[in-house]
Amino acid sequence: MAEDKLYRVALREALTEEMARDDSVFLIGEDIGKFGGAYRVTDGLLDRFGPDRVVDAPIAEEAIIGTAIGAAMLGLRPVVEMMTINFSLIAYDQIVNNAAKIRYMFGGEAKVPMVVRMPGGAGHQLSAQHSHSFEVLYGLIPGLLVVAPTTPEDAKGMLKSAIRSDNPVMFLESMSLYNVRGPVPDGDYTTPIGKAAVRRRGSDVTIVGVSRMAVLAHEAAKQLEEEDIDAEVIDLRSIRPIDWNPIVESVKRTSRAVVVEEGWATYGATAELAAGIQERCFDYLDAPILRLGGAQVPMPYSLPLEKMSIPTAEDIKRLVRRTVGKREVDA
């Protein structure tokens, strides 16, 4: 059985169940205890588990991550909440030079089983220092696992997998998905890290979406049905590692690909996807791979400008029409 739940509630359930299952799991972050988290994901957990396991930290991201790394090395399983992925840049040195490298540098004798939950993305008028998608900054680092679930079911299942992993996991949550509702299975389950999900089967073009763009890709694909364009949609889910098999199998059938991310496309996740598809599927492609990303600007505060800076389903449809050779339809 499955019950419809909000994305944020699914995350809370994962944290609650893992903390109840394993005493070594604890939470640390800014305003996650008494306030319940900036996005209410940790609401009520302080009352249930107490201040030793739900730690309200000072505004010092480098210290928060450093504390979590030390705790993980000594046998605990910390789950860090960054108030926004933008703030994780303050702790980037700790993440890249310590969390990602310690297991390698110690020959496997030490490990860092920690999760860093990071809300990101735009659309809420939070301006340039609170609104970006930095998947690529963590996806390029060996030693990290980087995931971005798009459904409530995956949010819960992948967070459970992340907490149980013996590797540091960067857990990216689009702020625009927190109020999305969807079915969440009953009971204890996990969703594997490193596996993409085929959200829709199609024969004319493959659309690969990263984070919230996978949701918009599915929306665009359904609308393109009215234009007799049959699009397959793949939700990447894991940014490191990338699950190439379903992408390659799809592109070999459709012979066309569009790849979409919310972040800047230059040097971005779509650059890696486009290069990887070209290397693996060159002989099967009937058109150039097209990629779509956000506007190459710091995110504006102005609502009209912010909307212009974020890819939309209409933008995805426009690229799909181009790659399948169809003319633009009237708006």
Is there a single domain that holds both residue 291 and residue 151? no
Is there a single domain that holds both residue 181 and residue 125? yes
Tracing tokens 């301006």 back to the chain, one arrives at 127
Find the helix or strand (DSSP H, E) in which 7 lies: helix 7-21
Residue 43: the pLDDT is 97
| Residue 296 within any structural domain of the chain | yes
Residue 331: the pLDDT is 42
Query: What is the rounded CA–CA span in Å between residue 218 and residue 229?
Result: 13
Is there a single domain that holds both residue 206 and residue 283? yes
| Residue 1 within any structural domain of the chain | no
| Residue 190 within any structural domain of the chain | no
State pLDDT tens for residues 267-310: 999 999 999 999 999 999 999 999 999 999 999 999 899 999 99
What average pLDDT does this structure show over 236-244? 97
CA distances from 149 to 49, 176, 327 (A): 26, 12, 34
Query: Which is nearest to 79 in space by CA: 170, 190, 9?
Result: 170
> Which residues are part of the catalytic machinery?
61, 130
What average pLDDT does this structure show over 7-27? 98
Worst-scoring range by mean pLDDT, 125-134, 169-178, 274-283, 294-303?
125-134
Percent of the chain with pLDDT over 70: 98
Look up the CATH number of the domain holding residue 132.
Answer: 3.40.50.970
Percent of the chain with pLDDT over 90: 93
Residue 139: the pLDDT is 96
Query: Which is nearest to 248 in space by CA: 261, 240, 257, 239?
Result: 257
Q: What are the structure tokens assigned to 82, written together?
A: 């960054």
Residue 328: the pLDDT is 62
Q: What are the structure tokens assigned to 195, written together?
A: 């596996």
Residue 329: the pLDDT is 53
DSSP designation for 328 = P
Is there a single domain that holds both residue 60 and residue 148? yes
Is there a single domain that holds both residue 114 and residue 251? no
Query: What is the rounded CA–CA span in Å between residue 203 and residue 143?
Result: 36
Is there a single domain that holds both residue 272 and residue 220? yes
Residue 130: the pLDDT is 87
Is there a single domain that holds both residue 143 and residue 230? no
pTM for this one?
Answer: 0.95
HSE of 56 in the Cβ direction (CA atoms, 13 Å)? 14
State pLDDT tens for residues 56-94: 999 999 999 999 999 999 999 999 999 999 999 999 999
Q: Which of 127, 156, 185 is the last residue of a domain?
A: 185
Supply the mean pLDDT for the chain.
95
330 has pLDDT over 70? no
| Residue 95 within any structural domain of the chain | yes
Residue 295: the pLDDT is 94
CA distances from 290 to 155, 203, 208, 256, 260 (A): 28, 17, 11, 9, 9
Worst-scoring range by mean pLDDT, 91-95, 128-132, 222-226?
128-132
**Strand pairing of 181-185 and 197-200?**
unpaired
Worst-scoring range by mean pLDDT, 3-7, 124-128, 297-301?
124-128
Query: Which is nearest to 28 in space by CA: 2, 64, 63, 62?
Result: 64
Main-chain phi, psi angles of 155, to 5 degrees: -55, -45
| Residue 135 within any structural domain of the chain | yes
| Residue 14 within any structural domain of the chain | yes
Number of domains composing the chain? 2
Is there a single domain that holds both residue 161 and residue 181? yes
Q: Which of 155, 185, 215 is the last residue of a domain?
A: 185
| Residue 329 within any structural domain of the chain | no
- The boundaries of the domain holding residue 101 are 7-185
Q: What are the structure tokens assigned to 11, written together?
A: 């995350």
What average pLDDT does this structure show over 205-220? 97
Q: How far apart are the first and last CA of the chain?
A: 41
| Residue 58 within any structural domain of the chain | yes
